Amino acid sequence: MRITCIGGGPAGLYFALLMKQQNPAHQVTVLERNKSGDTFGWGVVFSDQTLGAMREADAKTADAILNAFNHWDDIEVHMQGRTLRSGGHGFCGIGRMKLLNILQARCVELGVDLRYECDVADDEGLDADIIIACDGLNSRIRNKYAATYQPDIDLRQCRFVWLGTTKLFDAFTFDFQKTEQGWFQAHAYKFDDTHSTFIVETPESVWRAAGLEAMSKEEGIAFCEHLFAKVLDGHKLISNAAHLRGSAQWIRFPRVVCKNWVHHNGRAPVVLMGDAAHTAHFSIGSGTKLALEDAIALARDIEQAGGDLEAALAAYQASRSVEVLRIQNAARNSTEWFENVERHARLAPEQFAYSLLTRSQRISHENLRLRDSAYMDQFETWLAARSGLPAQSGVPPMFTPFKLRELTLKNRVVVSPMAQYSCVDGLPGDYHLMHLGARAAGGASLVFAEMTAPSAEGRITPGCPGLYTDEQGEAWGRIVDFVHHHSSAKIAMQLGHSGAKGSTRLGWEGIDQPLPEGNWPLISASAQQYLDGVSQTSRAMSRAEMDQVLADFCAATERAARAGFDWLELHCAHGYLLSSFLSPLTNRREDEYGGSLENRLRFPLEVFKAMRALWPQERPMSVRISAHDWVEGGNTPEDAVQMAAAFKAAGADLIDVSSGQVSKQERPRYGRMWQTPFSESIRNRVGIATMAVGAISEADHVNSIIAAGRADLCAIARPHLANPAWTLSEAARIGYTGRVGLDWPKPYLSGKSQLEKEFERQRAAAAAAAGASQDEANKALGV
């Protein structure tokens, strides 16, 4: 093949040498607009995993790079006069110029045609079978064929400057410094025997307030030297961007993602690679890492396709777009963490450092333990003491106690309220006794009844429970007594009115579909139809109807208290009645209950305050909110912070942080623990306890969330449907056999040791597969 790479950075050079190595008959040309030896930037970072992939692709190049790398295992965090260090992270740094020199030399050795000072504006006139557009972040090729590639470029909120220093750091170092204007952070690492990279980053608002926009380049560098003087130890900061003047050296990171990576121009396919195709924030690695992995993938796909170039390109886009999206999701989490240091700085330094280490959600609690068990033992001991336990290690965060008002929960696991559609006339029966009783015996600290209506018209379906009659109150009291007598779990009631989403079929008969007959009238903040052309249309509530609903909630609150529930939650989320007041998508009122967020909060707060006045003062009360409507013009996470603050001022003890289900036009961004960032924002900005929900399915998730201060409790839904004893099972799976926060029902104890041994065998088998010695595997097995 005739292959032309536009751009002589790492992507173009590495792809060129891999293709030439694959088949010396290939005619491979690299066109680079700069002179040989020109480069910008300082050092780049790779993980051990990337180096392994490079070794497999081309051992000779990998060896040359490895010999020039500076390797380190430790991450060091400097915060509020404290230094916290953890190991086992496995990173390597190399100077960008050194890396380019190695790749250039290997290209020459293999016979690649390297051409410098070739400023190629586009692909016109290039005679090739395939053209690789690796012309960088500001790719002119990508811009030319933007209609095909469909790039999405998001400029992030922080400004950063890429500098160097002669201070040699022996760990990847994060240093955080607070100024009158706000927080600055430095990312620093050694990349050769004489220099380290030193990146300074801060939110744009802080950058402007500090006056950096008006400073010369020299003044800006002096500002950073003064700010980070302690960690620099008298060493100077250096810029090698001679072409930049003044504040131009401070840039905002552009997140680039392209829908398509291949353009067919009728002559040769034009393929994006490296920064031209995608970017990922420097806080989780480097664009160079992704570029080299792109090159490896495309070279492999071409070889495996056996001459079918179209198949190879399809495979390349399919595999790399998915992998890059995964990394970009992690990078988004990491980017947002650094954009909000002010929020995390409210944590104690120990928890701040842990939050930083797990910010991308790619590194979990148990992964940190594998990397540095001593660090984790020390951190867990500190966290246990913060939870009121005697100083001791070996208690996972999920099994630490949690206290609100006079109620103490034995651990941090909650069974979510989950609709069961199994009542008759709102009356819970034996099914609910079995359902909630089994989960209370399964190890969770708190079991929620499903959303329960304060009136018959407030039910979602005819099968949903109510608390609008004394008979229902007595039936709930029977269930509460059972939970209290047969477990150490607490039990919570969640009260909510369905609003415009009521009068529908049972979940398995057609969720959100109206009843074929027997429908009841619907009310909401404003007239609406939840499913266009399908649902009933609700009417806007009158003041008299608002008074009646408030009275219904108060009566249900009193019944819940008499039934003996330990905890009460008001449901103000998911498009139900009170949620319809909160969201501008569903509240179009023109009276004092519509318009501004303050007005939209008015009726939900009236209901909450009336309930709080009736609910026993020693018992906690929470509110569930939708922290994001996921629709343009709807509530945002910033609105959620204001809502949480208002409910806190009204006496709420905890915010149950969910999102969405307000409009069918929503476009949520799903993923592991995908709603946890909303919980973290509310918890650390408002200063109120939160409960995280959404795709939390493993003990590792719960431990990471609690340890990082992202929530105080984790509500687990679907896993508890599949396994009522999820908490007991997860304890055995991670090897926790302690008694703190965990108690097995006495009749089940005979199954405890068997379950623990089975998981122990599985862990030993995994360790053996990962390279543990047979003696280590036998020891883990108890042989």
Active-site positions read: 576
> What number of other Cβ atoms are within 10 A of residue 571's Cβ?
24
Cα 455 to chain centroid distance, Å, stands at: 38
Structural contact between residues 192 and 179, judged by C-beta atoms closer than 8 angstroms: no
Which of 607, 575, 585 has the alpha carbon at shortest distance from 500? 575
Q: How many CB atoms lie within 10 A of CB 204?
A: 17
**Under 8 Å CB-to-CB from 189, ≥6 apart: which residues?**
43, 45, 72, 91, 93, 169, 172, 173, 196, 197
> How does DSSP assign 335-382, residue by residue?
HHHHHTHHHHTTS-HHHHHHHHHTTTSSS-HHHHHHH-HHHHHHHHHH
Q: Are strands 413-415 and 523-524 parallel, antiparallel or unpaired?
A: unpaired
Query: SS3 of 411, please?
Result: coil
Residue 301 φ/ψ, nearest 5 degrees = -65, -35
Residues 6+ apart with CB under 8 A from 747: none
Distance (Å, whole) CA 778 – CA 618 = 51
Tokens of residue 227, six digits: 């700010």
Phi-psi region of 87 (alpha: psi -120 to 50; beta: other; left: phi over 0): beta
Ramachandran bin of 435, using left for φ above 0, alpha for ψ from -120 to 50, beta for the remaining angles: alpha
Q: Which residues contact 79 (CB under 8 A, 6 or more apart)?
A: 176, 345, 349, 352, 353
Closest to 514 (Cα-Cα) out of 497, 540, 534: 534
- Burial of residue 292, with CB atoms counted within 10 A of its CB: 0-12 exposed, 13-18 middle, 19 or more buried: buried
Residues 212 and 252: their CA atoms lie apart, in Å, by 14
